[in-house]
Amino acid sequence: MKTMNKTLLAVAVAATTALAGFVQAGPVSDDKVKIGVLADMGGVYADICGPGCVTAIEMAVEDFGGTVLGMPIEVVSADDQLKPDVGSAKVRQWVENEQVDAVGGLVSSAVVGAATKVLTDNKKIALISTAASNAFTTSACSPYNVHWTYNVAAMANGTVKPIVQSGKKKWFFITADYAFGHALEGVATEVIVENGGEVVGGVRAPLGTTDFSSYVLQAQASGADVVALANAGGDTVNALKTAAEFGLTQTADVAGLLVFTPNAQAMDPATAGGMTLTTGFYWDYDDATRAWSTRFKERHGAIPAMGHAGAYSMTMHYLKAIEAAGTDESDAVMAKMKEMKPDDFFARNATLRADGRMVHDMYYVQIKTADERRDADDIFKVLDVIPGDTAYAPMLPECNFVKS
Amino acid sequence: MATFLGINLFGLFGQLLVGLINGSFYALLSLGLAIIFGLLKIINFAQGAMYMLGAFAAWMVLNYLGINYWLALIVVPLAVGAVGILMERLLIRPIAQEDHLYSLLLTFGIALMLQGTFTHVFGSSGMAYAIPEALQGGFKLPFMYLPAYRAWIVVASILVCGATWWMIEKTRLGAYLRAGTENAQLMQAFGINVPLMVTLTFGFGVGLAGFAGVMAAPVYSVSPDMGSNLLIIVFAIVVIGGMGSIGGAILTGLGMGVVEGLTKYFYPEASSTVIFLVMVIVLLIKPAGLFGKEA
């Protein structure tokens, strides 16, 4: 019995610990335009850019007519498993052996960082729809990066500024303890300080924390006017649920710095109703957004998150640029993409800057309470449209590839 | 405000209480695992998936059948327990004589399949589940606001843990069970149907995970990965508590809740690792676990 217990214990402990180039000829290379979609097909970000991003990009190809310059457009997809090594290996295989011309989707900033390096080395275009980091058009900018939907700076500017300006000056951060959370906290802090506010405290919670009650108590004790959630996905949902439960939402504002529509739908309206946030797209904004979103929902089964609409919009723009350039050669296509003004149901008052940042109208929205909702998809009330120039940080001179 | 050595005492009391609440939840979660792992010697890696199944089942019966939280507390554990019984009979039983690794891999596979299926059907973001009306609001304590639902978690956990402990340690049925797992052949010679007892015990342990899932639905995100996040912590708790000790698992659950709570107060970054640190130290000093019996 003794040995059996020991073996069993050893096995359990071990298991527990373990878990914690091609030749170019003619205007279109290889007689086809091939778009790879790299996204999170089954992990925590699957709802915000997974199978939905594949659907959105396929819709764009179909709406474009399925061919460009007389050559067929092909879409292939792969699961990055949220792992940078898996994602970058797939991208390398695509561009080096499978004639992929551009890669869309692109969710987790860590994966995208690795994938864009491979793409830039091979002079292929990265169509980044859902990643949050602003590095892709600043510190890690590249002439082949296009960043379309939003970034952390736009989120912080859009959500934080109006709240500080309304007189709520004391802020407390509940931050996801990894690169994305730190970046979001960093830019938000700058905005707070610039507008005369102060940060009175904060905690860095490990990714995937289930219980936030301890952090909520600390936020309460800090006497802050606003508690900012610099996290995403399930962490945001859990933190907000706990904040409401412990009465924090009655004494302070809770601001979610990155909330996607599927996350908002996962929150009980009684707790989340009234919270304000910034988004790059809302499906129910006007007739044009509704028309596209209805088609998307018919195919995907759920309303689009901002990354889905962004993926469609940027794929369309990419294909139009190929047509206008008369080739799928990356430098020529990038030049055309930056020259032509993106303009569709998603990209309003938009320009694609020389650094690859697509600057467009953002939306300051409020989560509706249960009484305000028609149905499960009726989740946001648009309070304000934020012009792109206000939302996005100005371009860094060193990333102005057109000039250099 | 009262302070001691520069520490805000009111804040500290709050953190201690929150730690105890979380601890009682850990106790509830580790109970099912302690029974299956500690008594039946089956390493059930699907226990986290069963917890997730319980939370989703609570959501499903509410939205599809109109069954409220209170009824779900009874119906869902029975249903999840039934899933456990099927799992034991059809999948685990045929490999019961093999090395422990086989059942570990089998149940891990089941967990991944369940998690994948739920992600496919319901998406990765999770579902909203409201706190039942009777438990909304809370109590104003001198040092913190105690939500009524959290108080209910403590009460429910003490009741269920206490009753289970009493049943296994103090009743004839529990004695049969403990004897049956020690020496199945002898017990069978006495006319006890040991295989049936094992199946039912497994079902009971899995049902407890389902119960914890329903308890968790109103306060935590109901999402496919909710179980895998917690399972590893709960395994660590059972290992720290000591194999085969039901009381040990309960007390360790409470204790680890407090340890984790204090870590969240003094050094939040370490809160996801502190339990494993304790596990390493305990195994080095007392390999059988704090309350384990070196037979």
Look at residue A245 and tell me whether its pLDDT is greater than 90.
no
CB contact under 8 A, B124 and A46: yes
| Cross-strand bridge partners of residue A366 | A276, A381
Task: Write out pLDDT tens, residues B47-92.
Answer: 999 999 999 999 999 999 999 999 999 999 999 999 999 999 999 8
Chain A residue with Cα closest to B126? A266
Chain A residue with Cα closest to B137? A245
CB contact under 8 A, B138 and A215: no
What is the reported pLDDT for A2?
Answer: 55
Q: Of A23-27, A163-167, A276-280, A330-334, give the lowest mean pLDDT range.
A: A23-27
Task: Write out pLDDT tens, residues B130-167.
Answer: 888 888 888 888 888 889 999 999 999 999 999 999 99
In the predicted model, what is the mean pLDDT of residues B228-242? Answer: 88
What is the reported pLDDT for A180?
Answer: 86
Domain boundaries, chain B: 17-97+126-225
In the predicted model, what is the mean pLDDT of residues A291-319? Answer: 96
Name which of B3, B102, B107, B264 to mutate to probe chain A: the one with the most chain A Cβ atoms within 10 A of its Cβ.
B264
Average pLDDT, chain A: 91
Interface membership of B182 toward A (CB under 8 Å)? yes
Looking at CA atoms only, how far is residue B184 from chain A in angstroms?
Answer: 13
CA distance A333 to B122: 39
Residues of A with Cβ-Cβ distance to B120 under 8 angstroms: 42
Query: Which among B14, B125, B128 has the least Cβ separation from residue A217?
Result: B14
What is the reported pLDDT for A403?
Answer: 73
Q: DSSP letters of A151-171?
A: -HHHHHHHHHHHHHHTT--EE
Look at residue A25 and tell me whether its pLDDT is greater than 60.
no
Look at residue B250 and tell me whether its pLDDT is greater than 50.
yes
**How is residue B5 written in tokens?**
């050595």
Task: Write out pLDDT tens, residues A171-229.
Answer: 999 999 888 899 899 999 999 999 999 999 999 998 888 889 999 999 988 999 999 99
- The CA-CA-CA angle for residues B253, B166, B211, to 5°, reads 55
What is the reported pLDDT for A12?
Answer: 67
Query: Which among A214, A266, A302 has the least Cβ separation from residue B264?
Result: A214
Interface membership of B145 toward A (CB under 8 Å)? yes
Look at residue A22 and tell me whether its pLDDT is greater than 80.
no
Average pLDDT, chain B: 88
**pTM of structure:** 0.82
The single-letter DSSP state of residue A30 is G
Task: Write out pLDDT tens, residues B257-284.
Answer: 999 989 988 888 888 899 999 999 999 9
| Cross-strand bridge partners of residue A105 | A38
Task: Write out pLDDT tens, residues B82-136.
Answer: 999 999 999 988 988 888 888 889 999 999 999 999 988 888 888 888 888 888 8
Residues of B with Cβ-Cβ distance to A42 under 8 angstroms: 116, 119-120, 124
Looking at CA atoms only, how far is residue B196 from chain A in angstroms?
Answer: 22
Q: Of A2-11, A124-133, A233-242, A336-345, give the lowest mean pLDDT range.
A: A2-11
Query: Which among A6, A203, A246 has the least Cβ separation from residue B145?
Result: A246
Look at residue B41 and tell me whether its pLDDT is greater than 90.
no
Q: Quick one: pLDDT band at residue A26, thresholds 50, 70, 90?
A: low
Look at residue A15 and tell me whether its pLDDT is greater than 70.
no
Q: Which residue has the tokens 């502190």?
A: B274
What is the reported pLDDT for A18?
Answer: 60
Higher pLDDT, B105 or B192: B105
B4: left (phi over 0), alpha (psi -120 to 50) or beta: beta
Query: Which among A7, A43, A268 has the least Cβ separation from residue B128?
Result: A268
- The CA-CA-CA angle for residues A368, B52, B98, to 5°, reads 165
Look at residue A14 and tell me whether its pLDDT is greater than 80.
no
SS3 for chain B is: CCEECCEEHHHHHHHHHHHHHHHHHHHHHHHHHHHHHHHCCCCCCCHHHHHHHHHHHHHHHHHHHCCCHHHHHHHHHHHHHHHHHHHHHHHHHHHCCCCHHHHHHHHHHHHHHHHHHHHHHHCCCCECCCCCHHHCCEEECCCCEEEHHHHHHHHHHHHHHHHHHHHHHHCHHHHHHHHHHHCHHHHHHCCCCHHHHHHHHHHHHHHHHHHHHHHHCCCCCECCCHHHHHHHHHHHHHHHHCCCCHHHHHHHHHHHHHHHHHHHHHCHHHCCCHHHHHHHHHHHHCCCCCCCCCC
Look at residue B177 and tell me whether its pLDDT is greater than 90.
no
CB contact under 8 A, A266 and B223: yes
- The CA-CA-CA angle for residues B149, B151, B154, to 5°, reads 115
Chain A residue with Cα closest to B292? A5
Residues of A with Cβ-Cβ distance to B271 under 8 angstroms: 205-206, 209, 214
Higher pLDDT, A326 or B288: A326
What is the reported pLDDT for A24?
Answer: 41
Q: Quick one: pLDDT band at residue A145, thresholds 50, 70, 90?
A: very high
What is the reported pLDDT for B97?
Answer: 83
In the predicted model, what is the mean pLDDT of residues A28-40? Answer: 91
- Complex confidence, ipTM: 0.81
Residues of A with Cβ-Cβ distance to B108 under 8 angstroms: 15
